[in-house]
Amino acid sequence: MGRHSSPRQWRYYLSILKYALPWILVAVVGVSAVWAGVGALGDDELDPSKGPVVGESEDPKPRDEPTIRATPVEPEGSPEEPEEEIPLITEGMTVQVLNGTTVGGVDQTMADRLEGLGFQVVNVVPAAINYTETTVLWSYAESEDAATRLAERFGWRVKPKPDNLSTQVALHIVVGADET
């Protein structure tokens, strides 16, 4: 048999299009919503294997824990006395250095500085977000004192680590714009 051709065949195609078009639009919107949701959830992760990710805010999630701002200790006595340095706790303190700036190399400079002080730097990676102030984050209660002393010595911020950072290291030093 031969092909049947009708001048009214376009009506058939039009009816299919009228049926399929709304479902295609629903699918596109649904896929876009899922894509955006997954992207938004994944932005605050800090996984060194995923490479650098730079955000715009300093704190990705509000915390119920108080943020402790370390302040330099004022020396007692006359101004002629040399300032006494705060003793650091370095033994057993493994450190991950994160670059919380857009300036390349500041993380390695900080890692070298910390190794010079006696810390064991085990990882140097980009941070997921930008920081304005250098921040010392501790992973567990035993490393809190070491974090506080380090932050006090240099006038940095100190607080507990967020959930997205590893517990495999004692301290996380996020280099902020104040150190560039």
CATH (domain of 167): 3.30.70.2390
Do 25 and 79 fall into the same domain? no
Two tokens at 24? 């295609």
Strand residues in 49-110 grouped as ranges (E): 68-69, 94-99
Interacting residues of 151 by C-beta distance below 8 A, sequence separation 6+: 68, 70, 135, 136, 157, 158
The mean pLDDT of 82-101, rounded to a whole number, is: 88
Do 28 and 66 fall into the same domain? no
Would you say residue 4 lies in a domain? no
Would you say residue 89 lies in a domain? yes
Do 76 and 137 fall into the same domain? yes
Interacting residues of 97 by C-beta distance below 8 A, sequence separation 6+: 107, 108, 110, 111, 114, 121, 123, 124, 125, 172, 173, 175
Do 99 and 13 fall into the same domain? no
pLDDT at position 48 is 47
Would you say residue 3 lies in a domain? no
What are residue 99's DSSP bridge partners? 126, 175
> How many Å apart are CA 161 and CA 135, to the nearest integer?
10
> How many Å apart are CA 5 and CA 8, to the nearest integer?
9
Would you say residue 115 lies in a domain? yes
- Per cent of the chain over pLDDT 70 is 71
Binned at pLDDT 50, 70 and 90, residue 56 comes out as very low
**Using one digit for the tens of pLDDT, what is the confidence trace for 102-147?**
999 999 999 999 999 999 999 999 998 999 999 999 999 999 999 9
Do 92 and 175 fall into the same domain? yes
Do 121 and 153 fall into the same domain? yes
Binned at pLDDT 50, 70 and 90, residue 37 comes out as confident
> How many Å apart are CA 116 and CA 90, to the nearest integer?
11
Do 96 and 147 fall into the same domain? yes
Do 35 and 59 fall into the same domain? no
Of 4-13, 71-80, 161-170, the least confident = 71-80
Would you say residue 1 lies in a domain? no
Would you say residue 32 lies in a domain? yes
- The parent domain of residue 103 ranges over 53-179
Domain count, the chain: 2
Mean pLDDT of the residues in the chain: 80
Q: b/e per residue, 111-150, with b = 16+ CB within 10 A?
A: bebbeeeebebebbbbbbbbbebbbbbbbeeebbebbbbb
